Amino acid sequence: MLRFLFWRLLGAAVLILAVSVLAFALVRFLPGGPAQAALGLRASPAEVERLNAALGLDRPVAVQYAEWLGRALRLDFGTSLSGGARAGTPVADLIARGLAVTVPLALLGTAIAVAVGLPLGLAAAARAGRGTDRAVSAAAVVALSLPPFYLGYLLILVFAVRLGWLPSVGYVSPAADPAGFLRIILLPALTIGIINAAPVARTARAAAVEVAAGEPVRLARLAGAPPGVVWFKHVLRGAMVPVVTVVGLQVGFLMGGVIVVENMFALPGLGRQMLIAAEQRDYPTLQAVIVVFAAAFVLVNLLVDLLYAAIDPRIRPEGG
């Protein structure tokens, strides 16, 4: 197990490193570039060159990357090139502030996705081929086809405008007012939760149908185990492994939803920081945010691999 952990951690580190090279290359080699963005399109080549020299961008790319990486390892991602109140803020601060919003939002969204998707998927499996099953798969197709901004819009329309139950604007930080923060992120979390419930429900249904037809469940039934016990002990457990996998694999999809709802509901999370950085051509921030998103994806999937062993003792990681 320790050996397995070591190799997986090493693989994750190499992958994150590769993404950081990609992010670095993206900012350096795409048309545009920091100096051009700062000076505007009418700047003469000589002016651009001067600013490049001042920013150290005229040195060999490998040297620049090594320097960036050296500082990034100490969590120093440079300072923001954005204007206004953000000018000169360390990128690491922007990211930390963003994560304080994004992490609770993503966790609540995932919790809602599992809380909605898992029971629906199991209910569909229990009545496979009948009305409930067909209703659940139709709902899943529609949910998967909903862009987050549209579902968010409809939820605002119903819960904020018509019913007036939940606020759609007015941000409060989690540190200042945890309960208020929870109220504010409820609609955005519901938006990504409902959309992400669809893959969870589909996966849970498929897995439960397979487990329910399997040998252990048939034996348990023959042995006279009550249906509730069969479902909780065997079917739910068998469905958990694929459900956890799909939650891990859907993290990228979830992040897309998080970026959209943060900007829609004006939540100052990582996705909002990223869009502001893109609008302001704030290269150091863009570069760092890509790496943070990728690192989150890689680490969640690493965690999923480790969870397997905990959920299903029969699964032993290779080499462990």
* Cβ 21 to another protein shortest distance, Å: 9
* Per-position x/- string for 176-205, each x denoting binding to another protein as judged by CB under 8 A, each - no binding: ------------------------------
Residue 153 binds another protein, judged by CB under 8 A: yes
Tokens of 215: 């040998």
Apex CA 268: angle with CA 267 and CA 270, to 5°?
110
Site for another protein, residues 14 to 33, rule: CB under 8 A = 15-16, 18-19, 22-23, 26-27, 30-33
Residue 260 binds another protein, judged by CB under 8 A: yes
Site for another protein, residues 275 to 304, rule: CB under 8 A = 275, 277-279, 281-283, 286-287, 289-290, 293-294, 297-298
Spatial neighbors of 104 by CB under 8 A, at least 6 apart, are 174, 181, 185
Residue 141 binds another protein, judged by CB under 8 A: yes
Site for another protein, residues 57 to 76, rule: CB under 8 A = none
Tell me the backbone φ, ψ of residue 175, rounded to 5 degrees.
-70, -40
* Cβ 313 to another protein shortest distance, Å: 28
Residue 98 binds another protein, judged by CB under 8 A: no
Residue 145 binds another protein, judged by CB under 8 A: yes
The Cα 153–Cα 116 span in angstroms is 20
Residue 253 binds another protein, judged by CB under 8 A: yes
User: Is the CB of residue 311 less than 8 Å from the CB of residue 240?
Assistant: yes
Binding span for another protein by CB under 8 A among 2-10, 89-97, 104-112, 137-145: 137-145
Residues in contact with another protein by CB under 8 A are 15-16, 18-19, 22-23, 26-27, 30-33, 141-142, 144-150, 153-154, 156-157, 161, 251-253, 255-256, 259-260, 263-264, 274-275, 277-279, 281-283, 286-287, 289-290, 293-294, 297-298
